[in-house]
Structure 1
Amino acid sequence: MSKVHIVHVEKELPKCCRHTNEILPFVELWLADQDKRFKRKVIKIFEGAGVDKRYSIMDAEEVFTATSFEEKNNIYAREVKKLGTSVLHKALENSNWKPHSLDYIITVSCTGIMIPSLDAYIIENLSLRQDIVRLPVTEMGCAAGVSALIYASNFLKSNPNKRVAIIAVESPSATFQLNDFSMANMVSAAIFGDGAACVLLSSESEAKGPVIIAEEMYHFNNATHLMGFDLTNTGLKMILDPSVPQVISDNFPDIVHPFLKKNGISIKDVDHLIFHPGGKKIVETVERLFGSLGKNIDDTREVLKEYGNMSSVTVLYVLERFLNRRIPVGSYGLVLSFGPGFSAQRVLLKWEGDNN
């Protein structure tokens, strides 16, 4: 069985950027006809979300303009093609990989609808091989970045001397519902941002980077109602149950400890926590759980602060921070995300030998 290395992670951000205090006037105008107490509550949600700024494929004026699902989805399709192509191009350039050296391409996105899927356009734009294997990952939300790592790992373990590119591109701003005044829409508007990431992986013997030791998914029972989208005439309407942090907390021991035990280690052996920042409450919940075990998720909190929650992309921004550090040989890292299903995805990394 081949070793699987994470060789490189690249980030790409859309052109529009606003700090949270710059967005608040748009929120106040949007809520002008709502009850004053409700408006104050929503403003406090934005102010307390732990997000200082976010990027978007549209400027704020366009996000807060009433348009059809078709119009927003057309913007999504146009912009994710650009971001996906650009982030893969940068990743290849910075890793000295040729486009035709890729054997497998995985694209990840759930915030719009495109057929053909994003991978087809990237193959065209960068002249990738005609026999490249394609896998579009959709409808898995925030968990999909780690899901893609799992799919890539399984492909590479069985196929020596191969290369995989994962391209995740999300635009939650394209799903914003102007006439939805539910708390789920308020919370998602306060925490989400747009972005793209690319991960390059290899099963070549000379590849460098942390090794994927193990990967596993965990599916919660009776939990399909907790998170996702409803497809409505106005677009993708957020489903976000307020019980999610408590559900994570209740299941946390079963998610983490048996997975590590199968691989001959415990949480005390894990030096680096690479956790998806779903939102402030989820971050605080997991921070408390890991904190009681003597660990921290400072990088997760920082990524949420700088970019917001970019759905599947966000955990890859956390991963990028670790790949840009000199990590001691023998160190373990645990990649963890949660998403619709409801599910948890886990990947165990190890920094080995001269592969930093």
Structure 2
Amino acid sequence: MAAYIHHIATETPEFIYSNEFTRERMKGWISEPRAKRMVEMIYDRTGIETRYSASDDFMKEEGGLFRTQEDGTLNSPSTGERNALYAKAARELAVKLARKTLAECPQFAKEEITHVVFASCTGFANPGPEYHLMRELGLREDVERYTIGFMGCYAAFPALRMAAQFCEANAEAVVLVMCLELCSLHLQVSEKPESIVANALFADGAAAALVSARAPVAGRPFYRVHGFRSALVPSSEAHMAWDIGDHGFNMVLSAYVPELIGSNIREILGGILGKHGLAAGDIDEWAVHPGGRAILDQIEEQLGLGAEALEMSRSVLRDYGNMSSPTVMFVLKGLLEEAETERAMTCAIAFGPGLTVETAVLERCGAAIPPAAVEPAVMAQAQAAVV
């Protein structure tokens, strides 16, 4: 029994910051001249133009969580203070996104939802966002809820895999999958390169998907799930990690991560593609988690992809930054919305602490932009020529 991703919806917090604004803010909070130059260089090379945040503190000197102190430096809120804002903002964003998802996919009524799978690594609350979206949307009380916690940027794949397994085992299952991260709440001003890189890349956002074994509705594109696979990059554990400190969550992010991923990606992909009788040349569309511009460059080079293959990933990175787990779902949604062909084999890839690489083979079915959607004048000329 096949499982289908019928719809993907996305949402962001209301506060948006340009890369130039956040770069100058960060330079203002750092005193050491060499670190200021490093901030300038790193921010200018990210490929990011705008990012969203659940906090408006960065626009003002006297914020609620983040405040500029008398000496010009940024205060360092406790982990508890940051988590309190996560609990409030994540609840609001989760409810808003769940409502949007159901409104955009009317073939599923809220009463039909049987499972909620929620993934997040940037905060903790119990009752959590998945509980509140159930209450505020009026879902059935016997809905099964699962939280996938602290897995990082690749968590969308364990969440979607779990949803697909529920649906393959039960034809009546309808699963709401949600990935929600508020990375900006863990901003830490430091002169360490890995801290500067993390501040320059990460942002806030959320994505949701409706998964079931029900036959998809004609006229709108969807994904058929073929399979998932997990892999670990050898000797890489120390290069990417995410742990809890007294002043927020701490990111360990080595400069060698793009090279480690690039040097192993062909072998890792060979596992899942070979399992389905495919090779890299059989993939029509690539949905790669844009962990950073250097990672995308490595993937493109090592797989011998054309310049347009990762265009959607680069577009998401440019407009939203790295939102951790929801980011690859933003890419998948973008590919659905711009689909012009009736079918495309899609390979989706995400990376996270460990280094862990999660992959999925999906089949995109249906076109969002019909081939007939051409300029009326061009159509009229073609018809005249036939006559």
Shorter-normalised TM range: over 0.9
> Cα distance, 1:295 vs. partner?
6.9
> Cα distance, 1:355 vs. partner?
11
> Cα distance, 1:57 vs. partner?
0.3
Give the AA of the match of 1:21: E
Q: Which residue of 1 aligns with 2:138?
A: 127
Q: Which residue of 1 aligns with 2:349?
A: 336
Instruction: Indicate if the aligned counterparts of 2:262 and 2:295 stay in contact, CA closer than 8 A.
Output: no
Q: 1:160 to 1:20 in 2, by over 3 A?
A: same
Q: Which residue of 1 aligns with 2:51?
A: 54
> Cα distance, 1:266 vs. partner?
1.0
Write the deviation string for residues 9-67 of structure 1: whole angstroms up to 9, x where unpaired: 11111011111112233112101x21x12211111111111110100001214475322
Instruction: Indicate if the aligned counterparts of 2:258 and 2:295 stay in contact, CA closer than 8 A.
Output: yes
> Cα distance, 1:114 vs. partner?
1.6
> Cα distance, 1:152 vs. partner?
1.2
Whole-angstrom CA distance in 1 between matches of 2:365 and 2:291:
30
> Cα distance, 1:221 vs. partner?
3.8
Matches within 5 A, 1:124-203: 124-178=135-189, 180-203=190-213
Q: Check if 1:106 corresponds to 2:117.
A: yes
Q: 1:353 to 1:51 in 2, by over 3 A?
A: closer
Q: Would you say how many aligned residue pairs link Structure 1 and Structure 2?
A: 352
Give the AA of the match of 1:337: A
Determine which of 61, 82, 90 is the counterpart of 2:100: 90
Q: Which residue of 1 aligns with 2:374?
A: none
Whole-angstrom CA distance in 1 between matches of 2:247 and 2:215:
50
Write the deviation string for residues 279-338 of structure 1: whole angstroms up to 9, x where unpaired: 121111112223357872111011000000000011111011112133423420011101
> Cα distance, 1:340 vs. partner?
1.2
The structure with more radius of gyration: 2
Deviates more, 1:123-132 or 1:166-175: 123-132
Write the deviation string for residues 130-176 of structure 1: whole angstroms up to 9, x where unpaired: 11111101111000112211111122111113211111111111111
Whole-angstrom CA distance in 2 between matches of 1:353 and 1:184:
42
Whole-angstrom CA distance in 1 between matches of 2:251 and 2:347:
28
SS at match of 1:237: strand
Q: 1:23 to 1:304 in 2, by over 3 A?
A: same
Give the AA of the match of 2:43: F
Q: Which runs of 5+ in 1 are unaligned?
A: none
Deviates more, 1:67-76 or 1:167-176: 67-76
> Cα distance, 1:352 vs. partner?
4.4
After superposition, the CA RMSD in angstroms is 2.0
Q: 1:192 to 1:353 in 2, by over 3 A?
A: closer
> Cα distance, 1:222 vs. partner?
3.8
Q: Check if 1:230 corresponds to 2:243.
A: yes
Give the AA of the match of 1:136: T
Q: Which residue of 2 aligns with 1:290?
A: 303
Q: Check if 1:38 corresponds to 2:35.
A: yes
Instruction: Indicate if the aligned counterparts of 1:290 and 1:296 stay in contact, CA closer than 8 A.
Output: no
Q: 1:232 to 1:268 in 2, by over 3 A?
A: same
Q: Which runs of 5+ in 2 are unaligned?
A: 68-74, 370-387
SS at match of 2:284: strand
Matches within 5 A, 1:256-267: 256-267=269-280
Instruction: Indicate if the aligned counterparts of 2:233 and 2:261 stay in contact, CA closer than 8 A.
Output: no
Whole-angstrom CA distance in 1 between matches of 2:368 and 2:213:
13
Using CA pairs below 8 Å that are at least 6 residues apart, which structure has the higher relative contact order? 1
Give the AA of the match of 1:169: L
TM-score where L is the length of structure 1: 0.93
Instruction: Indicate if the aligned counterparts of 1:150 and 1:216 stay in contact, CA closer than 8 A.
Output: no
